[in-house]
Copies of this chain bind each other. A is one copy, B any other.
């Protein structure tokens, strides 16, 4: 694939991710993707013959990779636990504040939008969340081995819930609150 072709596919996926973060599944129709990505409509069907479902899955996987890299950088560092946790929430608050709390996690938005028959999309959301949980569990070596997965599962639910609350209330307050809550939880588990 030539550099231009790769660039065009990437632009479509990036545009879809922006739209999903802002408005969920309904906001990411092919026409909106074409407009947001400044890509020819033909190229959308060239790269994604399956149409919207395929594009959305590619965007969810892009979301997965971006978030995984960020979690690895902040939570996977060698700093003490409190500092690592704070780095994740600080980054999240900064990102959400920057665009006035108008955009959040695409996995979260899609998870709450998917119909009962949209199995491929739900499976994609489930797979991303499971991968994040496994990554976070690996980044929490302070926790006893048999409590790492529960801590990671809690962490991911909390990060999703805090984003949702921050978005609804247009304030970073739920993110600061979540950071504090996770550290108190860690204190109870680690003693």
Q: Is the CB of B184 within 8 A of A189?
A: yes
Give every chain B residue within 8 A of A156 (Cβ-Cβ): 161, 165
Q: Is the CB of B174 within 8 A of A153?
A: yes
Query: How does the 8 Å CB contact mask read for A109-126 relative to B, with 1 for contact and 0 for none?
Result: 101111110000010011
Name which of A104, A126, A160, A187 has the most chain B CB atoms within 10 A of its CB.
A160
Q: Is the CB of B170 within 8 A of A122?
A: yes
A181 within 8 A of B: yes
A184 vs chain B, min Cβ distance (A)? 4
Give every chain B residue within 8 A of A24 (Cβ-Cβ): 24-26, 109, 112-113
A145 within 8 A of B: no
Interface of A is mostly: helix
A180 vs chain B, min Cβ distance (A)? 7
A37 within 8 A of B: no
A171 vs chain B, min Cβ distance (A)? 9
A77 within 8 A of B: no
Q: Place the interface of chain A in its size category.
A: 35 or more
- Once the chains are docked, how many angstroms separate the CA of A107 from the CA of B112? 10
A162 within 8 A of B: yes
Give every chain B residue within 8 A of A73 (Cβ-Cβ): none
Contact of A169 among B126, B159, B162, B177 (CB under 8 A): B126
Q: Is the CB of B174 within 8 A of A122?
A: no
Question: Can you report 9 A-B residue pairs in the complex whose CB atoms are below 8 A from each other?
Answer: A27-B113, A111-B168, A112-B113, A150-B180, A154-B177, A157-B165, A157-B174, A157-B178, A161-B162
Top 6 nearest A-B pairs by Cβ distance?
A: A161-B161, A26-B26, A111-B168, A157-B161, A188-B188, A125-B168
Q: A26-B113, A129-B169, A153-B174 are in contact. List 10 more A-B contacts (CB 8 A).
A: A104-B112, A122-B168, A154-B177, A154-B181, A157-B158, A157-B177, A160-B161, A161-B164, A181-B185, A184-B189
